[in-house]
């Protein structure tokens, strides 16, 4: 039983190490007409002009557990208990920038056209 508990305790720690062990940098694809700062500034301006921040209220269905009181004819749900739990669908509203993904894609493409590529680096490399 102690080995199982140890594995369970180490799993979150190992996950954090793996997730925090990567980074990305912009690297030149050869000779570029733009410095990194120039390319970033121009591409960010262009991406924000073409795909400005556009926040919209969206909705999704989520399921929540709700405590319900037993009635006399609810023997199949309750047995001898006074309450039971039922999972019910609910609508949840949230705000999202609907242009975020397009803006990011455009920015990455723009940086590539200006001679820069994004490289991922992992801690084990």
pLDDT digits (tens, 9 = 90+) for 4-39: 565 666 666 666 655 566 788 999 998 889 999 999
Domain membership of residue 107 (yes or no) is: yes
- Total domains in the chain come to 1
Upper half-sphere CA count for residue 64 (Cβ side, 13 Å):
9
Domain membership of residue 81 (yes or no) is: yes
pLDDT at position 82: 84
Domain membership of residue 75 (yes or no) is: yes
Domain membership of residue 16 (yes or no) is: no
**Residue 112 CA: distances (Å) to CA of 33, 35, 43, 102:** 12, 13, 10, 15
Domain membership of residue 11 (yes or no) is: no
pLDDT at position 122: 78
pLDDT at position 17: 56
Q: What is the dihedral of CA 31, 40, 116, 22, to 10 degrees?
A: 140
* Distance from C-alpha of 101 to C-alpha of 104, rounded to nearest angstrom: 5
Query: Can you give the pTM of this predicted structure?
Result: 0.64
Distance of CA 6 to the CA centre of its chain: 29
Domain membership of residue 2 (yes or no) is: no
Domain membership of residue 12 (yes or no) is: no
pLDDT band with cut points at 50, 70 and 90 for residue 2: very low
| Residue range(s) defining the domain that contains residue 61 | 23-122
pLDDT digits (tens, 9 = 90+) for 51-67: 999 999 999 999 999 99
């Amino acid at each position: 039983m102690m080995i199982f508990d140890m594995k369970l305790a180490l799993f979150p720690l190992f996950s954090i190490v793996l997730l925090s062990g990567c980074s990305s940098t912009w690297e030149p694809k050869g000779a570029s007409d733009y410095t990194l700062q120039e390319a970033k500034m121009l591409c960010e301006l262009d991406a924000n002009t073409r795909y400005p921040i556009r926040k919209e209220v969206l909705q999704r269905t989520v399921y929540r557990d709700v405590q319900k009181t037993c009635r006399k004819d609810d023997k199949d749900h309750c047995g001898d208990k006074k309450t039971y739990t039922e999972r019910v669908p609910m609508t949840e509203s949230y705000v999202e920038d609907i242009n975020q993904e397009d803006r990011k894609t455009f920015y990455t493409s723009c940086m590539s056209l200006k001679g820069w590529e994004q490289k991922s680096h992992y801690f084990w490399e």
